[in-house]
């Protein structure tokens, strides 16, 4: 039963990952912390899940020409360096019983900041034009920051990459999502390697099941992307960040069941909307 639940969990998170260009760990890490897993175990399992969703999401966005290969490589390599540097810090914090509260606080602060960015009314309409030559130094800075957060929080860094690529480098939304998930693949590989070198005791069987679920869900999520407007995607992503931040806050205040319920309702609601929109599109095509 546990394996089946983790398979379904991996598939659901994979769908959201492919749609939003995030690795999935942003949901799984707080969820596993709520369920009582040690921070390092939660992070490794989340990174394993993220690997499955980012790899499949990368190929899906590659087919749609949604990312810049050179820029994704630059971000990814910088992220690997940042990820390797912070892994020992997590084990040190865990030994001193400080990892849980620090990681939870980081989630709440960062998620709320990005939720505000996506949900606030736009001051002006900016025409989305592809960036031909993104600044190398900006890409390195973004990648390094994402790598640090990847190993510290069990995420791909995609929830940081996507808004920064949009706001700082000025990528169009869909290009930012595609580049984010491609770079995240390299970052996650670096994070997983660092944790295994450090001697993690995470249950690898559950990690494999999560990967299988993500391999199923992530391409579906990417295929839903073109069904919705940029405005809808931005507002949905902002609402998603706000919901996860609220869930983590509820967990830190010892309302674990309410926290789990919020995550479950929001996730199933979004996936239900995706499926409904896909069904409507198919019915429209079938009509003479």
Instruction: List, for residues 172-218, the tens digit of each pLDDT value.
Output: 887 888 888 889 889 988 888 888 887 777 788 888 898 888 888 87
Question: Which percentage of the chain shows pLDDT scores above 70?
Answer: 92
In a domain, 97, yes or no: yes
> Average pLDDT of 275-287?
75
Q: Model confidence at 247, in pLDDT bands (50, 70, 90)?
A: confident
> Average pLDDT of 77-105?
82
Question: H helices within the chain, ranges in order?
Answer: 2-20, 25-34, 39-63, 69-95, 99-119, 136-153, 158-167, 173-197, 204-224, 230-252, 256-286
Q: What is the pLDDT of residues 20-35, one digit of tens each?
A: 766 677 778 777 877 7
In a domain, 7, yes or no: no
- Domain residues for 185? 24-273
Q: What is the pLDDT of residues 141-185, one digit of tens each?
A: 999 998 888 888 777 777 788 888 888 888 888 788 888 888 988
pTM value surpassing 0.85: no
In a domain, 40, yes or no: yes
> Average pLDDT of 128-133?
54
By CB atoms closer than 10 A (0-12, 13-18, 19+), residue 268 is exposed
In a domain, 113, yes or no: yes
Residue 124, pLDDT above cutoff 80: no
**Distance in angstroms (rounded) separating the CA atoms of residues 228 and 266:** 18
In a domain, 15, yes or no: no
Residue 95, pLDDT above cutoff 90: no
Q: Hey, how many other C-beta atoms are within 10 angstroms of the C-beta on 54?
A: 34
- Backbone dihedral angles phi then psi of residue 255, each to the nearest 5 degrees: -110, 60
> Average pLDDT of 252-264?
83
pLDDT at position 125: 46
In a domain, 214, yes or no: yes
**C-alpha to C-alpha distances, 181 to 67, 131, 206, 279, 281, nearest whole angstrom:** 9, 17, 23, 26, 26
Q: What is the CA radius of gyration of the chain?
A: 18
**C-alpha to C-alpha distances, 233 to 18, 70, 87, 119, nearest whole angstrom:** 12, 25, 33, 11
**Distance in angstroms (rounded) separating the CA atoms of residues 28 and 19:** 16
> Average pLDDT of 67-85?
89
Q: Hey, how many other C-beta atoms are within 10 angstroms of the C-beta on 283?
A: 9
Domain count across the chain: 1
In a domain, 17, yes or no: no
pLDDT at position 142: 93
In a domain, 278, yes or no: no
């Amino acid at each position: 039963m546990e394996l089946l639940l983790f398979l379904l969990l991996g598939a659901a998170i994979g769908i959201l990952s492919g749609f939003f260009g995030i690795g999935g760990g942003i949901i799984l890490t707080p969820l596993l912390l709520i369920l009582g897993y040690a921070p390092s175990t939660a992070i490794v399992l989340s990174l394993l899940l993220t690997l499955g969703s980012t790899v499949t999401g990368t190929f899906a966005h590659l087919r749609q020409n949604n990312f810049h290969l050179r820029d994704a490589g630059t971000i990814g390599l910088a992220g690997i360096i940042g990820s390797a540097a912070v892994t020992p810090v997590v084990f040190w914090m865990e030994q001193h019983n400080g990892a849980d509260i620090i990681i939870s606080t980081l989630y709440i602060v960062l998620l709320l900041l990005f939720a505000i960015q996506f949900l606030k009314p736009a001051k002006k309409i900016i025409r989305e034009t592809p960036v031909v030559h993104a600044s190398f130094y900006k890409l390195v800075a973004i990648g390094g920051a994402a790598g640090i957060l990847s190993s510290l929080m069990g995420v791909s860094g995609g929830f940081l990459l996507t808004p920064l690529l949009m706001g700082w480098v000025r990528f169009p939304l869909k290009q930012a999502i595609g580049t984010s998930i491609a770079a995240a693949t390299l970052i996650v590989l670096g994070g997983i390697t660092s944790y295994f070198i450090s001697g993690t005791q995470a249950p690898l069987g559950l990690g494999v099941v999560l990967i299988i679920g993500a391999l199923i869900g992530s391409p579906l999520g990417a295929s839903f992307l073109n069904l919705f407007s940029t405005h809808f995607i931005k507002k949905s992503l902002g609402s998603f960040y706000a919901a996860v931040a609220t869930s983590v806050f509820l967990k830190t205040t010892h309302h674990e069941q309410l926290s789990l319920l919020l995550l479950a309702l929001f996730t199933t609601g979004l996936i239900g909307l995706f499926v409904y929109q896909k069904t409507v599109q198919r019915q429209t095509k079938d009509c003479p």
